[in-house]
Amino acid sequence: MDWQGQKRAEMLMQVLLVAAAVAAFLVGYLRGDFQLMLLVYAGGVVLTALVTVPNWPFFNRNPLKWLDADEAERHPRPQVTAAGAAAGGKKKSGKNK
């Protein structure tokens, strides 16, 4: 998913869940059936999960432009000089090289 997609997914999740809760309450109240309310709500929750959790293509409409491998090699990581390493060696050890 891209950043826009993540924002959409979160918004959809909240809207769908609130809608499911409201719909479930109304159905349950009008039919006088508490269990029906819980079933409708459970259905709404499952639907919401199916729509927002998996990495659907429509969440990836603004894809990020990752740097490809050849381009990355042409810009290597800056190397630390020997003098600098001696002075700041204690701090650097233990971190990823």
Residues at the interface with another protein (CB under 8 A): 1, 6, 9-10, 13-14, 17-18, 20-21, 24-25, 28-29, 31-34, 37, 41, 45, 48-49, 52-55
Question: In whole angstroms, how close is the CB of 31 to another protein at the nearest point?
Answer: 8
Cβ closest to another protein, residue 63 vs residue 84: 63
Please state whether 32 falls in left (phi above 0), alpha (psi between -120 and 50) or beta.
left
Report in angstroms how near the CB of residue 28 gets to another protein at its nearest. Answer: 7
| CA 9 to centroid of chain Cα atoms | 8
**Surface-to-core class of residue 91, CB atoms within 10 Å of its CB (0-12 exposed, 13-18 middle, 19+ buried):** exposed
